[in-house]
Amino acid sequence: MTRDGDGCPAFRHESTISSVRTMRTGTPIRQTCGRRRYSAPLPLFGFSHIARTTTKKATPGIQLGSLVKDSITGFKGIAIARTEYGVGCIHIRIQAPGLTDAGTPIPVQTFDDQRVEVLSPPTKRWAGPIETPVKLGHVVRDSLTGVVGIVTGKTVGLDGRTNLLVEQAGMTSDGEPKPPIYINAASAIVIDRRELEVSKDSVATSGGPMARAAVAH
């Protein structure tokens, strides 16, 4: 999968993990945004953090439930989830109406929010986001599984619930990084409140692609 200079997916990808409907507590998530950027060691977890000053702040942005379109591919559908990553990327997950020839739902697609255009506002009232004290960069423990790690992503769905992308310290027996997992924010216990810091070797000013105005020139 192609990635941009900040380690974020540069193009859409089809994946069942992109659908809020398929997220399950403790499910390994292998396609994450910017995991390879974790290079500078932390005393406790061996991860690097990304600076709060270089991370996009969570804003209302694209309202979930809106009819939207990807400006590059033309893919249209309903915005069903919004994911904010610690590296600055914000992704919108889109469910197209209709079924495939096999009679199954069209796979959910994920796009960077800077290329998603709103065609029309929601036609019904959806649940608002459920507030959570957990922030990107916090070290949490899942009260259900006992998993401990750093929150590097937050996803809010149409039902208002928040799922946290948690990255664990250490390696597997094969010498690979432990796979991140999604946990429900309601089961997360904050055990350390940290700020995100950027690697001293990074030249990026933020995650995600350049602003449209810059791309146009």
Would you say the pTM of this structure is higher than 0.75? no
In a domain, 117, yes or no: yes
| CA–CA gap between residue 10 and residue 68 (Å, rounded) | 19
Q: How many domains does the chain have?
A: 1
In a domain, 3, yes or no: no
Q: Report the candidate in 31, 5, 213, 167 with the shortest Cα–Cα distance to residue 110.
A: 31
The secondary structure of residue 129, as a DSSP letter, is: P
Predicted confidence pLDDT, tens digits, the chain (217 residues): 444 545 554 434 443 333 333 344 444 444 434 444 433 333 344 333 333 333 344 346 899 999 999 999 999 999 999 999 988 899 999 999 999 999 999 999 999 999 999 999 999 999 889 999 999 999 999 999 999 999 999 999 999 999 999 999 999 999 999 999 999 999 999 999 987 777 888 887 655 444 444 333 3
For Cα atoms 117, 130, 15, give the angle at the middle one, nearest 5 degrees.
Answer: 50
For Cα atoms 19, 24, 27, give the angle at the middle one, nearest 5 degrees.
Answer: 100
Q: Decide: 173 and 37 in contact? Cβ < 8 Å.
A: no
In a domain, 7, yes or no: no
Q: Domain of 126?
A: 13-198
Give the three-state DSSP class for 80: strand
